[in-house]
């Protein structure tokens, strides 16, 4: 068999096609024919160059990526302080939620108030719902912004009527003082909602710069 036939088989091997000759015979020929061996090397090099394409030119995004990084990386002192404050707020709100539930439960259990029984139960249900709201925000701070409109409205209205009732002698002072627990809880929820909004506002430019 002449060299052109073997070179045709070599070309078929490079292209992944049937050789047309026994593979062992082709290898033996390459081992004994320097010309075909050199031709095989040249053919493989040409094929590789033809199949490879130059990589497209891409812009250097190093500066943009560095600008998009948050100013406070995890592990920094500022981030540690922020986590400490967040934990303190959540624990304080947890304590207030438990205390609020403690106020509500006796009223629901035995109706131990001077008001009619149903009104007492209704008041206990409200207090227990407030406690549940505080505990939910303590467990999941992302809920603070959603809970704040209800809690804030209720607290403002209750404060107004309590001050008026105190002036008219319709409510004892110790009962009015108990509402301070609610006010403290709402202030904590407001602080957590404000901190969450700050985090989202700080993260928005970072996301927009990375996408851009």
> Is there a single domain that holds both residue 120 and residue 20?
no
Tell me the pLDDT tens digit for each residue of 119-163: 667 777 888 888 899 999 999 999 999 999 989 888 898 888 888
Residue count of the chain, please give it.
212
Let me know if residue 178 belongs to a domain: yes
| Residue recorded with tokens 């409205």 | 153
> Is there a single domain that holds both residue 158 and residue 201?
yes
168 φ, ψ to 5°? -90, 0
> Is there a single domain that holds both residue 28 and residue 88?
no
> Is there a single domain that holds both residue 188 and residue 87?
yes
Query: Does residue 118 carry a pLDDT above 80?
Result: no
Query: pTM value?
Result: 0.51
Helix, strand or coil for residue 87?
A: helix
Let me know if residue 59 belongs to a domain: no
| Rounded Cα–Cα distance for residues 99 and 181 (Å) | 8
> Is there a single domain that holds both residue 116 and residue 154?
yes
Q: How many CB atoms lie within 10 A of CB 161?
A: 11
Average pLDDT, the chain: 80
Tell me the pLDDT tens digit for each residue of 176-202: 888 888 899 999 999 999 988 887 777
Q: What is the pLDDT of residue 190?
A: 92
Let me know if residue 60 belongs to a domain: no
Let me know if residue 58 belongs to a domain: no
| Rounded Cα–Cα distance for residues 75 and 82 (Å) | 11
Q: What is the pLDDT of residue 124?
A: 78
Q: What is the pLDDT of residue 187?
A: 93
Query: Does residue 115 carry a pLDDT above 70?
Result: no
Query: Does residue 27 carry a pLDDT above 60?
Result: yes
| Rounded Cα–Cα distance for residues 72 and 80 (Å) | 10
**Number of domains observed in the structure of the chain:** 2
Domain that holds residue 26: 3-51
Tell me the pLDDT tens digit for each residue of 65-111: 777 766 655 556 777 788 888 899 999 999 988 888 887 777 666 65
> Is there a single domain that holds both residue 78 and residue 45?
no
Question: Which of 203, 93, 207 shows the shortest CA–CA distance to 147?
Answer: 93
> Is there a single domain that holds both residue 25 and residue 121?
no
Let me know if residue 57 belongs to a domain: no
Cβ atoms 6, 26 nearer than 8 A: yes
Q: What is the pLDDT of residue 138?
A: 92
- Rounded to an integer, the average pLDDT of 23-35 is 84
From residue 197, give the alpha-carbon distance in Å to each of 19, 88, 205: 69, 18, 13
Q: What is the pLDDT of residue 211?
A: 47
What token pair was written down for 197?
Answer: 């909004």
> Is there a single domain that holds both residue 110 and residue 204?
yes
> Is there a single domain that holds both residue 100 and residue 132?
yes
Q: What is the pLDDT of residue 127?
A: 83
Question: Which of 172, 13, 183, 38 shows the shortest CA–CA distance to 96?
Answer: 183
Let me know if residue 132 belongs to a domain: yes
Tell me the pLDDT tens digit for each residue of 35-68: 888 888 888 888 777 777 666 777 887 777 777 7
Let me know if residue 69 belongs to a domain: no
| Rounded Cα–Cα distance for residues 120 and 114 (Å) | 8
> Is there a single domain that holds both residue 128 and residue 166?
yes
> Is there a single domain that holds both residue 197 and residue 109?
yes
What token pair was written down for 25?
Answer: 């015979």
> Is there a single domain that holds both residue 196 and residue 93?
yes
């Amino acid at each position: 068999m002449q060299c052109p036939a073997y070179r045709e088989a070599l070309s078929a091997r490079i292209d992944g096609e049937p050789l047309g000759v026994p593979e062992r015979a082709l290898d033996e020929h390459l081992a004994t024919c320097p010309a075909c061996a050199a031709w095989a090397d040249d053919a493989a090099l040409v094929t590789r160059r033809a199949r490879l394409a130059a990589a497209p030119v891409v812009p250097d995004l190093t500066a943009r990526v560095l600008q998009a990084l948050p100013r406070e990386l995890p592990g920094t002192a500022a981030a540690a302080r922020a986590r400490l404050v967040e934990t303190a707020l959540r624990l304080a709100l947890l304590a207030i939620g438990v205390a609020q539930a403690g106020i509500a439960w006796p009223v629901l259990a035995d109706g131990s108030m001077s008001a009619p029984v149903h009104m007492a139960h209704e008041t206990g249900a409200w207090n227990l719902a407030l406690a549940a709201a505080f505990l939910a925000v303590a467990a999941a701070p992302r809920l603070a912004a959603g809970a704040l409109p209800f809690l804030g409205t209720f607290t403002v209205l209750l404060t107004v009527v309590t001050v008026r009732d105190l002036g008219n002698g319709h409510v004892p002072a110790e009962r009015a003082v108990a509402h301070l627990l609610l006010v403290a809880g709402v202030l904590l929820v407001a602080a957590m909602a404000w901190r969450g909004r700050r985090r989202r506002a700080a993260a928005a430019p970072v996301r927009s710069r990375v996408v851009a």
